[in-house]
Amino acid sequence: MKYFDFGCTKRKVSVIGLGCMRMDELNPTQVDRVVKTSIDAGINFFDHADIYGDGECEKLFATVLKKDPDLRDNIFIQSKCAIRDGLYDFSRDYILRSVDGILSRLGTDHLDCLLLHRPDALMDLDEVQQAFSRLHEEGKVQSFGVSNMNRFQLELLQSGVSFPIVADQLQMSIAHSPMIDEGINVNTMFNGAVTRSSGTLEYCRLKGIIVQTWSPLQKGFFDGCFLGDPEYEKLNAELNRLADKYNVQADTIAYAWLLRYPARMQVIAGTMNPEHIKSAAKAADITLSREEWYSLYTAAGNELP
């Protein structure tokens, strides 16, 4: 496993994190096995959100912490808030109330990182700053980030808060790569040149912001997994070829493709299958060549101008 410094605390976190969105599908015994398998594989980063299972995922995770209280100091817990029924909410009171709920469900006194979950068009910078300041002063949150924000939203938010925005969680996979496409197709009339993220990847590189990739095996927006999908026959053939070369599974290569991008990349694997967790962890030890990275990119149906 590979690790990098995260946020102001400089905590060492794994480049593969476990996304806990589907944890409510498990029982406490299974959750314990998933967490322990992750740790044994070198994964020390666990990503939650208050809406995952309507809070049930955090409660189940808490059962593991309760059984092994010493575990809390050896792992990094991130959660997210701001998605409400029919709206997004960055208001001071809602952020503060949400974090208190998250901490209560997790059974911990602090989050290592809090992400604001999707952009709130009505964001008031002063209110966000007030919420962040209080959470940090009270020791409830150590670092702050966002999810699904473009570079201008990041810059706007950063202009109003005194805490560095350390991470942006963004959807990205070989079969969902518009942020990469727009860079490769600059100044062309190809569909890939359509600017959907305003150079967000490049901005994150400039500012040292961690890019956390969610749905790393998905095609489209929750349209299903591309592994084994006949629609992606060429991609799967190339994944399998490289999997044989590196003596790993195809999903490992898909994760390694994301890690090869030269930003501060962190893959959030959403699997609850212990064997798939082990497979994901192996991606940290593989560095694809430039030729291999581009062969996967074009096999997914992307054309180079």
The answer to whether the Cα torsion of 33, 34, 40, 41 is positive or negative is positive
How big is the chain, counted in residues?
Answer: 305
What is the mean predicted confidence (pLDDT) over 223-228?
A: 94
Could you count the other beta carbons within 10 Å of the beta carbon of residue 180? 17
Q: How do residues 143-174 score in pLDDT, each as one tens digit?
A: 999 999 999 999 999 999 999 999 999 999 99
| CA pair distance 27, 36, nearest whole angstrom | 14
pLDDT of residue 248: 98
pLDDT of residue 196: 79
User: Does residue 189 register a pLDDT over 80?
Assistant: no
| CA pair distance 72, 61, nearest whole angstrom | 11
What is the mean predicted confidence (pLDDT) over 53-68?
A: 97
210-214 and 165-171 as β-strands: parallel, antiparallel, unpaired? parallel
pLDDT of residue 10: 85
Nearest to 155 by CA among 204, 121, 92: 204
User: Does residue 198 register a pLDDT over 90?
Assistant: no
pLDDT of residue 194: 82
For the chain, domains (ranges, CATH) are 3-174+202-221+248-287 (3.20.20.100)
Told to judge if 52 belongs to the known catalytic residues of this protein, a careful annotator would answer yes
Binned at pLDDT 50, 70 and 90, residue 221 comes out as: confident
Out of 3, 52, 232, 246, which one is annotated catalytic? 52
User: Does residue 288 register a pLDDT over 80?
Assistant: yes
Are 102 and 96 in contact by the 8 Å Cβ rule? The answer is: no
Element (H, E) at 151: helix 151-160
Binned at pLDDT 50, 70 and 90, residue 8 comes out as: confident
